[in-house]
Structures are given as structure tokens and as C-alpha cells.
Amino acid sequence: MTASDTRPATATAATSRHFPSGFLWGAATAAYQIEGAAAEDGRTPSIWDTFSRTPGKVFEGQTGDVAADHYHRFRDDVRLISDLGLSAYRFSVSWSRVQPTGRGPAVQRGLDFYRALVDELLEHGIQPAVTLYHWDLPQELEDAGGWPQRDTAERFGDYARIVGEALGDRVERWITLNEPWCSAFLGYGSGVHAPGRTDPVAALRAAHHLNLAHGRAAAALRDTLPARAQLAATLNLHQIRPLTGSPADLDAVRRIDAVGNRVFTGPLIKGAYPQDLLRDTDRLTDWSFVREGDLAAIHRHPLDFLGINYYAPTVVSAATDSDPDNARNDGHGASEHSPWPAAEDVAFHQADGPRTAMGWSVDATGLSDLLLRCTRDFPGLPLLITENGAAYEDMPGPDGSVHDPERIAYLHSHLDAVLKAVDNGADVRGYFLWSLMDNFEWAYGYSKRFGAVYIDYDTQARIPKSSAHWYTRVARTGELPAPEAGA
């Protein structure tokens, strides 16, 4: 046996640095975070317009009214994506721009914007990936009860049909929902996201109706789109680690996995809610809002790929008396209310080591572990990384350029983690960096910069950061350079 025979399989990634051929290289954005033009061409407020105007909810009362003004500058932005050498671009459609009340007929001017965006992308050889829902529920639907109400799922099916009919001939990749965990549990549980409600039962109801909304949208899209279209949902799957190997800590992992991950992967991929989730939450609800036929409807049209958003791992333990505020360290924003229903006896911990400007730990092993877990749990399901990236305190230097070596190091280590997972059998089809450009980072407003491209919000100038140039090289060659050559 030679020395190399004894190396763990993961070590091969260090020598073979090439991504599979056909690997998609993209960047991602979301409507409310970049578009602006909040009251133009018939758009009406979404829950984020309302939430951002509610005192104390968003950093310095900032809103998405103007954001990165992408609505008016999309042609320049597509040129930018093209100059970056990317083969794909993930964006979301603003529901209240195309269907202002969340029901009834579409507004053509709203749809025209997305038609023009898609045309522009295709002319530049960039493949569009559309997300139908990236958190901006029309306010009228929230006023009628929002995601805890079943009818919202029905409305989403109608909306999906409208967008499918408008763009279906030109868009191949469709993502129904972005991170429904955040919509349900941050929106209705901890209240750090719009609409800012704090009711654990409403959060669980929302989770089910989001699953049902996926099912309704998948049916409408399958009905409308050509057979080659690919349907997916994007989840922020939590890669959960126990603080110690004790049985109590392992049970904390199981609980958070149930209400953080399997609450979605169960119905979407396996066709059932996990029994342990129903048991863990039975003192809150009997889940009678799940009606006969719902699970079949959610599961009827299988996912063609699973979208995965990964930023950092989650560390948990059984709570002790010295962990009074169980969710304070979960990385999802400060609130007196936990986003984790029925998990009062779980404590969250921050791993040691480097952090981003969000306070999230930098740990790429979480990404390879997560990809390999999905490979094991969902055999045959292709994976697409629909978001990964980091916020840092970027600032233009005296010469006007923006150097962000920490972001390059973050991207490098995470792309290396993707390669390791691929070498170990994960079927990863592409990677979308979050984000194309700096934008409205939800409750943090414009104070956190995730972009590969810097936005000067006074002038709306776009300045590609060093990481953008680095990423361009990776995307053009399909090859991960040695760390010292990149940073």
C-alpha cells in the first residue's frame, strides 16, 4: 500500500481542482433587496414595505424604496453579469409588482419588466433561474391572514401560473420558494422578519401553507411550462452540530433538524411530516390544519433539483440553567421570541474562530457535510447551491477600488468544500454566489454588504470588488486556483 492509498477520500480535492463540465456559475439576488421602484408601474406594498416602515424593525428605518435601483438599471446590471463571465443569474419576481392585490389579473407593466430582464439575460448568453417567492408577500394577502391562512397557498398557485405563462418559454429553472423556514419562523415566530408576528402556532401553520403553496405552484408550472423546465425549492438547510456527544445534545440536534429542516424536506421530498416533529410540537398544535390530500399535492411533482443556501453551521446543546435565552446565539437576529417552536430546552452556541460581519462563523466544512448529507438522504436528487457568500465591511480605497480578501478566502474555502463533496459523490450542478451586488439585507438594511459588486448608494455606481475579479477567473476557467494565487 502506498502512502496515497491511505489518504482519506476527501484529500483528492486538493489535487483535482476542476469543477465538473457544464457546472453553472452564477450570482443571486432578490427583488425587494435590489429593485427599488417600490411604487412604480402598479406595484403595491409587500409585507417588507410595511415592515421596513415600522419603527424599530429595520436598521435606521431603511427601506427598499430605492435599493440598488435595479428596476431602472437592469440593462447595465446584465452587462455587468456578462462582464463577470457568469453563465447563470438567479433573481426573484416581486409578487405585488405582477399581481398587486395578490389575486386577480396580472399587471402587464410588471410582467414586462421581467420579460425584458429575461430577454436581456438570454441575449448575453446568461441562463435565468427564477425564484417566485423571496419573502415579499403582497400586503393585502397578509391583511387577509398571511401564510398562516390556507388561502395564501391557493393564491400562490394562481400567481405561479401567471409568471409561468409569461416567462415559461424562456426560463428553464424555476424555484418556487426561497427559504420557507425564514418566511415561517422568522416572519411569524421570532418576528425579526416581515410581517413581524410572534406566535409559534402561526409559524407552524405558515410552514405547512408554504409547503402547500409549493405544491400548488408546482402543479400550475407543470401545466404551463415545457417539459424541459426544471422545478425546485430552495431551503436554508441547517447543518447542525452537537456541542458534545452526550445523548441530550444529540437529541437537541434531532429536534432542531426536525423543525429546521425536515419540516420542509419531509413533505417536499418524502411526502410526509416527520413523526418526531409532530410529537415535539404536540403541546402547541395537533396539526389539523394539514388536510387530507395536502401531502399528496405537495409531493405530486417531484423536485428536479434541490436549491441549497448555506452560510454557516448551527451548534446546539441541551439547555442548562446558564443558557437562559435559548435562541440568542442562533444567528437569526435578536428577539425575545424564539423562532424555534417547542425547543425551549435547546441552547444555541457560537463556534470559535473567524466570523463574518453578520457574526456568522466561517466554516466551510459545514457545506461539504450538508451536501453529503443531502446526497445520502435524497439519492438521485441533483443539488444546486442557490446562495453562498459573506458580508464584510467593504470600503473603496483611495484609488476607488474595493479590496475584499476576506470574501475571496471565504469563497475559496467554500468552493473547495463543494469540490470535496463532488469528489465524494455529491451531484452538485452549480453555484450561485450571494450576492451579485450589495443590497438591502432585510432587518440589517444597507449596513451589511454581501455583494461581489460594491454599490455606492449615493450615486448608484457599481464597483466590482476584488472578489468579483477573482470569481470571474473561477467561472471562466471552471478551476479553483491555489489559495495563495487568489487572495
Write out the catalytic residue numbers. Answer: 179, 387
- Residue from the set 46, 96, 178, 285 that interacts with ligand FCB by CB under 6 A: 178
- In the complex with ligand FCB, which residue's Cβ is closer, 33 or 44? 33
Residues paired with 88 in a beta bridge: 26, 127
Q: How far is the CB of 30 from ligand FCB (least distance, A)?
A: 5
From the list 63-71, 175-183, 412-420, 451-459, the region that binds ligand FCB by CB under 6 A is: 175-183
From the list 120-128, 178-186, 190-198, 286-294, the region that binds ligand FCB by CB under 6 A is: 178-186
DSSP assignment of 259-318 equals IIIIHHHIIIIISS--HHHHHHTTTT---TTS-TTHHHHHHSS--SEEEEE-S--EEEEE
Interface pattern 298-317 for ligand FCB (x via CB under 6 A): -----------x--------
| Tally of residues, the chain | 487
Q: Report if residue 179 touches ligand FCB, rule: CB under 6 A.
A: yes
Q: How far is the CB of 194 from ligand FCB (least distance, A)?
A: 12
Question: Do residues 296 and 271 make contact, with C-beta atoms less than 8 angstroms apart?
Answer: yes
Q: Report if residue 387 touches ligand FCB, rule: CB under 6 A.
A: yes
- Residue from the set 91, 113, 133, 450 that interacts with ligand FCB by CB under 6 A: 450
Q: How far is the CB of 179 from ligand FCB (least distance, A)?
A: 5
- In the complex with ligand FCB, which residue's Cβ is closer, 238 or 420? 238
CB-side neighbour CA atoms (13 Å) of 96: 25
Q: Which of residues 325-384 bind ligand FCB (CB under 6 A)?
A: none
C-alpha cell at 347: 441552547
Question: Do residues 411 and 433 make contact, with C-beta atoms less than 8 angstroms apart?
Answer: yes
For residue 211, CA distances in Å to 153, 156, 389 come to 8, 11, 26
Q: How far is the CB of 135 from ligand FCB (least distance, A)?
A: 7
C-alpha cell at 263: 419540516
C-alpha cell at 238: 441547517
Residue 187 carries which DSSP code? I
- In the complex with ligand FCB, which residue's Cβ is closer, 67 or 297? 67
Q: How far is the CB of 106 from ligand FCB (least distance, A)?
A: 24
Interface pattern 49-78 for ligand FCB (x via CB under 6 A): ------------------------------
DSSP assignment of 352-380 equals SS-B-TTS-B--THHHHHHHHHHHHHSTT
Question: Do residues 154 and 117 make contact, with C-beta atoms less than 8 angstroms apart?
Answer: no
Question: Do residues 294 and 215 make contact, with C-beta atoms less than 8 angstroms apart?
Answer: yes
Q: Which of residues 410-439 bind ligand FCB (CB under 6 A)?
A: 434
- In the complex with ligand FCB, which residue's Cβ is closer, 178 or 326? 178
Q: Which of residues 32-51 bind ligand FCB (CB under 6 A)?
A: 33
Q: Report if residue 236 touches ligand FCB, rule: CB under 6 A.
A: yes
Question: Do residues 438 and 455 make contact, with C-beta atoms less than 8 angstroms apart?
Answer: yes
- Positions in the binding site for ligand FCB (CB under 6 A): 30, 33, 178-179, 182, 236, 309, 387, 434, 441-442, 450
